[in-house]
Structure 1
Amino acid sequence: METLGFDLSSIDLGQWWGQVVAFTAPRWLPSLVVLLIAGVVYVVARAILGRAQRNWVTRTATRLDDLAVRLLRQALLLSSGAWAIWRLLGIWGLPTIAQWVYAIWIGVLFFPLSRFVGDFLTAIESEVVTRTETPLDKTALPMINTAIRFIVVALGVVLALSELGINIAPLLAGAGVMGLALSLAAKDTLSNLIAGVLLIVDRPFQVGDRIELWTTPNETGSWGDVIEIGLRATKIRNPDNLVVVVPNNEIMQRDIINYTMSGQDIRLRIPFSVAYESDIDRAKGLLVDIATGIEGVKGDPAPIVIARGFGPSEVNLELRVWILEARSRRSIADEISEQALRAFEKAGVEIPYPRRELYIRSESDGGSNSGP
């Protein structure tokens, strides 16, 4: 008999069917038992976890127990399914595929574990860290969170490959060589990233602080407010509303002058000069009176004036005052200087200017000196 181009007479269907029955008959019952055990374990464990979720977990204020229950549910679903498939493949004589299933189960199981670790760290940040007096920067914790989650997933992949008998040493060596090449090619970028991490850890300034700038366009302000701290660069807005983007590596190599880190009140030094012929005590008294009447200047400690030194035609004075708001130092200094100019002019205190006296000796005068 020939059907669909095949000669079925040459095939002993009875013998073939007998072999199929002989192979499958002893395996049906163990397979059903495996499926039954996996199903019962999953249903019972899920019911227990659901009851715990309703009666205990939802009544607590923390999210940590919710995260733990969710991890157990996901791990239970993956484990029960993977175990059933692994056992069925072993029963039906497919040990190689069963080994692959086991390795894949190990690797996949680390994905919900990675998610749990990330959510756990986020919960710790919101429930514990932010309650302390020195909270971590909002940029540092997400970066640490991402790095730890990546490490957890990488660990799962390594364990899965080792379970399959794959030697990961050559892969690690290749990754090391590639990483070295990339690090050499992106040396500046990596140095900025490392400097960004150090800025986040050391916290010499934070968003909102007012710091000194080192390189700014001509005729613009030399200080600014930090508006963003990134992993590669820091953005600072100067008083002319210009945003200066400074690479983190450059910031870490300079002295950082932070006007607001130590608190709101800072000491302000304003230099003045008066002529030698002027009344120094009168000039000092005028400056103290002016500073005392300026809004934003603290009365305790009281303003003082000291003589810093002598110049070619002037006595150098310095007014030292404490101000309540560090951000007002420029406006306060401007107001004090303006009022001091008017007060000196009214009181007859001379502000010196460069001058020279010239004496001419005439030979016809017998070497006598004439006036200037």
Structure 2
Amino acid sequence: MKINYESYLKYLPGIFLIFCSFVVLKVKAPINRVLKKIFLKDRKISKAERLILELSSILNYILSVFFLHFGLLQFNLSPIWKNAVNIGAYTLYIGFATLAVLKIIDIFIEFLSERTKKTVPVSEIPLVETYFSMISKIVKIFVVFVSSIILLDKLGFNVTSLITSLGVGSLAVGLAAQDTIKNFISGILLVTDRQFRIGDRVYIKDIDVDGYVYDIGLRTTRIITISGNNLIIVPNSKLTEGVIENALYPDMKFKDSVKIGVEYGSDIELVKKLLLEAITTTDGVLKEPPPSVFFIDFGDSALIFQAFYYVKKKDIAYGVKSKINEKINKLFAENGINIPFPCQTNYFPEGVKIKIDKE
């Protein structure tokens, strides 16, 4: 029996290309290790080097798909299977190309952000991060949209009629997704109006949330709470319509106070001196603006004083106040200043008759 080797030899190019596809995938990890070893000679990977690492992995996948695609086409496939292979390959090409563009955008936006940070005051750096974070998200959405149009065109859809249909149906979509659109517009307004930045500590009065801004998205804002370190997701429209207290912008300084009562008859000037001493000798209290003490009221059982001072930021306010209270308690004890218990004196103009029954 004579074997016809020529019928098998025609499949060798296809088998070889498929084999190359798997080889390319296998060498991805060693190539990345070699590149990292080269880049880490100065113990730091630059943005350009990080981009090369990201793109090298994507290029590996594209080459692998390329070899697999043309390897499969070397076989005598039916028109249906040939079309399916082409569609699958084009989808992967566009997907990996889109991923590469998104990586380039990430690096480029980060480069612009770092460059801009060097030209602005320190207090404006979080605002720069917020701006570029929003720009990055909008550009990425645009890139994904364009990629989707290109893919649909490759798949045989009439893109022109599709876009026209989307235009006609935009009113219905707008009505159905009005909350999403409202939140999207609110997200842009949050950034442009400078209400807060990523990293700011905010208190949202309407929903009683106090925490740090973790991220400002196109639809929602993520806040990490102070009390439980939990992630709260708030629709942007709630923030643009609500009342927000920002503890870090435009000025990080936080004004705090200590209110205390001393017994009647105490030396007022000595009390004010001791309160100032307790505050000015406590770490964390700012010298400018200087602390101040006021005798503000005659209480029911005490003379009421209130001292005002500034700390660097709200985060340390509780710790600083605790130290101040400890020093006040110590200084008052050393100088004979008493903090009275609440008491009440009753006067009877006509006196009080007491009747004692004798047994």
Question: Which TM class, normalised by the smaller chain length?
Answer: 0.5 to 0.7
Please, which of 125, 131, 137 is the counterpart of residue 143 of structure 1?
A: 137
Cα distance in 2 for partners of 1:214, 1:244 equals 17
Determine helix, strand or coil for the equivalent of 1:360: coil
Please, which of 262, 267, 270 is the counterpart of residue 258 of structure 2?
A: 270
Cα distance in 1 for partners of 2:174, 2:334 equals 72
CA contact 1:304–1:319 (8 Å) conserved in 2: yes
Matched, 1:289 2:277: yes
Please, which of 261, 264, 272 is the counterpart of residue 249 of structure 2?
A: 261
Matched, 1:251 2:239: yes
1:340 is matched with which residue?
A: 328
1:100 is matched with which residue?
A: none
Matched, 1:130 2:114: yes
1:182 is matched with which residue?
A: 176
Alignment of 1:233-248 (within 5 A): 233-239=221-227, 241-248=228-235
Relative to structure 1, is the Cα distance of residues 341 and 111 closer, same or farther in structure 2, using a 3 angstrom cutoff?
closer
Matched, 1:305 2:289: no
- Runs of 5+ consecutive residues of structure 1 not aligned to the other structure: 1-60, 64-109, 366-372
1:227 is matched with which residue?
A: 214
1:194 is matched with which residue?
A: 185
Q: CA deviation at 1:364?
A: 9.8
Cα distance in 1 for partners of 2:327, 2:191 equals 43
Aligned AA (2:285): V
Deviations 1:12-52 (A, max 9, x none): xxxxxxxxxxxxxxxxxxxxxxxxxxxxxxxxxxxxxxxxx
Deviations 1:313-356 (A, max 9, x none): 44432212233454211111111123213332443333344433
Please, which of 311, 318, 321 is the counterpart of residue 330 of structure 1?
A: 318
Q: CA deviation at 1:281?
A: 1.0
CA contact 2:280–2:291 (8 Å) conserved in 1: yes
Cα distance in 2 for partners of 1:236, 1:153 equals 34
CA contact 1:158–1:168 (8 Å) conserved in 2: no
Q: CA deviation at 1:358?
A: 1.8
Aligned AA (1:175): G
Q: CA deviation at 1:115?
A: 8.6
Q: CA deviation at 1:116?
A: 9.7
Relative to structure 1, is the Cα distance of residues 169 and 144 closer, same or farther in structure 2, using a 3 angstrom cutoff?
closer
CA contact 1:140–1:201 (8 Å) conserved in 2: no
CA contact 2:262–2:338 (8 Å) conserved in 1: yes
Between structure 1 and structure 2, the one with the greater Rg is 1
1:99 is matched with which residue?
A: none
Determine helix, strand or coil for the equivalent of 1:307: strand
2:201 is matched with which residue?
A: 210
Alignment of 1:13-24 (within 5 A): none
Relative to structure 1, is the Cα distance of residues 304 and 121 closer, same or farther in structure 2, using a 3 angstrom cutoff?
same
Alignment of 1:48-127 (within 5 A): 122=106, 124-127=108-111
Relative to structure 1, is the Cα distance of residues 151 and 267 closer, same or farther in structure 2, using a 3 angstrom cutoff?
same
Cα distance in 1 for partners of 2:320, 2:283 equals 8
Deviations 1:119-177 (A, max 9, x none): 775565244343013534353123111233256568879999xxx89767962453223
Q: CA deviation at 1:192?
A: 3.6
Cα distance in 2 for partners of 1:225, 1:235 equals 5
Determine helix, strand or coil for the equivalent of 2:246: coil
Q: CA deviation at 1:201?
A: 3.9
Name the % identity: 21
Q: CA deviation at 1:271?
A: 2.1
With the length of structure 2 as denominator, give the TM-score of the two structures: 0.54
Cα distance in 1 for partners of 2:215, 2:275 equals 40
Determine helix, strand or coil for the equivalent of 2:186: helix
Q: CA deviation at 1:234?
A: 1.8
Greater CA deviation, 222-231 or 315-324?
A: 222-231
Aligned length: 254
Determine helix, strand or coil for the equivalent of 2:343: coil
CA contact 1:209–1:261 (8 Å) conserved in 2: yes
Deviations 1:275-330 (A, max 9, x none): 44322111110011111221222334432212334444444322122334542111
Aligned AA (1:247): V
Q: CA deviation at 1:225?
A: 3.1
Relative to structure 1, is the Cα distance of residues 198 and 352 closer, same or farther in structure 2, using a 3 angstrom cutoff?
farther
Comparing both chains, which one has the higher relative contact order based on Cα–Cα distances under 8 Å and sequence gaps of 6 or more? 2
Determine helix, strand or coil for the equivalent of 2:347: coil
Q: CA deviation at 1:215?
A: 7.6
Q: CA deviation at 1:243?
A: 0.7
With the length of structure 1 as denominator, give the TM-score of the two structures: 0.53
Q: CA deviation at 1:113?
A: 11
Relative to structure 1, is the Cα distance of residues 213 and 301 closer, same or farther in structure 2, using a 3 angstrom cutoff?
same
Relative to structure 1, is the Cα distance of residues 115 and 314 closer, same or farther in structure 2, using a 3 angstrom cutoff?
same
